[in-house]
Amino acid sequence: MEEEEQLREMKRQLEDEELNPEQRVGLLNVGLSEVLNSAALQSDSSVLSAVKSNLYLSGVLSHCVLLLSPDPRMPRGNWGAVAALAQLTSSCSVGVDPGRRSQAFHRLFLPSLMDGLLSLASQLMRRAECMSLFRKVMESVGWLLRSHTRLTSQVLSSVHYEHIQMCDDVTVSLLCVQMWIQTCTASRDFLSELSDDSVLLLLNEAVGQLAVSSDSSVGGASVRLILLMANQQELRVQPLLLGFRGLDSLLVKDWKGRGFDQEVDQLIELLQSDTRGLPQACTERVRAACVIQAAWRSYQTRRRVKSLKGAVSMLQRRYRARRRRQQQQKEAQRWEEELKYQVCVRRHQARREFHQKQRRLLQLLPPDQVQPYLQECERRAAVVIQSVWRGFRERRHYNNNNYTLRHTHTQQQAARTLQRAVRRFLQRRRAALVPPTTSFWIGQNGLTDSRRAELKRQVEDHVSGHPSSHVTREECERLHEEVQLLLLSELQRGDQRRREEQRVEALLAHTHTQLELLREAPPLSVVTTTDADSFLSPSGPIAARARDSHNAALQASRLPWWRTLGETAGDVDVFSPAHLQELEAELGGLFVGGVDGLNL
């Protein structure tokens, strides 16, 4: 319970965004040290493994890997804290039980951690004052390799490890070789779990140190590493060693008498073991051939020794460039696989969220609408599937018939060309068969005097038979006067008709007025002298009718133009009380009409 509380507190502090990288490194160093020390003091050994598993599952170790990334951006004086964090992270990664996240632990977490450790070691190697920290980081790398053998190929093909190998410092080379010796010594199954390519890369490193380095400690360590590998995996290592031609000569010339002759002799004996099976009855002729070949090869070797440094440098450069390309390809493949994995996970999450959302929506629907909704979804899905299938089928049909369509189009164009040529030929042939027409002009060839006289006579006969319709000026004036008289008579008759119509309208108005007065007349019991005079004298009704007509004309003149379209005087009742009241309000009391009488 105490360790779990410490883990929760550490994780809460790491989630604080205000902490800089230096503070995070210090916090992780203190927290991991306390947690590991507390777990190590327990009597039960499974507690430490459980604590390491909780550190990985809670994400604390992931924060450590981020801080150990190739570009940690740490201050210059903080390399000690970073190296301590690397050692603690490597220790926590050994003995972890990832559970269901085992694939992510071995394929993502461990490679990222190893890449961060090698990057940190490459940066510490360039600083002379940080050699002890470099040793600590390389020990962490070896500790991690002894527990997870699969990381060996990554280390040997890493770009950062190549930079470490290219260093001219004897201490760095010795530390690298000793790390592999300790790894092979700690576990006898280490080489058996490696592939042939990884074993060959490890042999290349040991032989390269023998060829490049001149320090006895480095050479002795390289020879011991090769002998250790041969003792553990003789059947695999010995065929690979035979591929290094000239290694025995190099050992005799450069490494004899350096303090480890016994080990050198063992390695030379191992390299020459394939020649022990030769028959004993070797003739002088074969020996002479061997001597001649040895002399010639030594001569060639002495010639090439002058340019050996440049050749070795070029060989190493090409080899490292090839390994670098392979490493980049592996990194690109690893990132591509990780991207595919993330895409699959996100697609699965999106599909699950969509189904959950659809289920919630179905729960909100009334029961009687669930089945229609599902049927509609099935119909839409069927439409989509059918459209995709039809599109695929039409595209395939089009691709299959593409050649046929082009051939048909070519045939149609050829047919049009032939038809056009045939029509032009027939048109020219018909034009050639038609007789030429003579031109009709006076000065044509072949017109005689007799023919000209005959034509003139025909023209005169036609003119006499068809007289001209030309009218003289006197006749035009006479016709104009007649038309003016007819128009004047028509206008006079129109005035007379208008006067008759006005008289009829006046009589009708008088009649309507009398009828209205009679209809609106008061009973005889209340009739006064004024009312009786209004019935006896026609002046009052006529004046009222005139005012009504005048008011109707004023109202008609104020109507909009669209109200007068298609209307006649009988369509609008201009004498209704409503119209009279509107007119009175518009004229401001100039006229007041009604059943009670007239007021001016």
The three-state DSSP-derived secondary structure of 348-389 is HHHHHHHHHHHHHHHHHCCHHHHHHHHHHHHHHHHHHHHHHH
Query: CB-hemisphere CA count at 13 Å for 504?
Result: 6
Q: Which tokens hold the place of 202?
A: 């490890």
Of the candidate ranges 119-128, 467-476, 567-576, the one whose mean pLDDT is the lowest: 567-576
Give the end of a domain, one of 315, 344, 364.
364
pLDDT tens-digit map of 365-392: 788 888 888 888 899 999 999 999 999 9
Structural domain contains residue 300: yes
Closest CA to 53 of 39, 72, 41: 39
d(CA 402, CA 399): 5
* pLDDT-derived band at 327, boundaries 50, 70, 90: very high
Structural domain contains residue 176: no
pLDDT above 80: residue 529:
no
State how far the alpha carbon of 339 is from the alpha carbons of 148, 344, 490, in Å: 24, 9, 104
Give the end of a domain, one of 364, 395, 411.
364
Q: Could you write out the three-class secondary structure of 85-147?
A: HHHHHHHHCCCCCCHHHHHHHHHHHHHHHHHHHHHHHHHHHCCHHHHHHHHHHHHHHHHHHHH
Structural domain contains residue 225: no
Query: Any idea what the Cα angle at residue 323 is, between residues 319 and 324, rounded to 5°?
Result: 115
Q: Yes or no: say if 561 and 590 are a contact pair by the CB < 8 Å rule.
A: no
d(CA 291, CA 301): 15
Structural domain contains residue 568: yes
d(CA 252, CA 261): 9
Q: Both 565 and 542 in a single domain? A: yes
Q: How many domains does the chain fold into?
A: 3
Q: What is the pLDDT of residue 452?
A: 85
Structural domain contains residue 417: yes
Q: Both 306 and 384 in a single domain? A: no
pLDDT tens-digit map of 89-119: 888 888 777 777 878 888 888 888 888 888 8
Which stretch, 69-73, 123-127, 399-403, 595-599, has highest mean pLDDT?
123-127
Q: What is the pLDDT of residue 30?
A: 79
Structural domain contains residue 436: no
Q: Both 322 and 347 in a single domain? A: yes
Radius of gyration in angstroms for the set of CA atoms belonging to the chain, rounded to a whole number: 61
SS3 334: helix
Q: Both 505 and 582 in a single domain? A: yes
Structural domain contains residue 163: no
Q: Which domain holds residue 377?
A: 367-428
d(CA 400, CA 34): 74
Give the end of a domain, one of 413, 428, 443.
428
Q: Both 529 and 577 in a single domain? A: yes
Amino acid in position 330:
K
Mean pLDDT of the chain: 78
Section 19-38 average pLDDT? 77
Structural domain contains residue 385: yes
pLDDT tens-digit map of 266-293: 888 887 775 444 444 445 676 788 888 8
Closest CA to 63 of 80, 39, 88, 40: 88
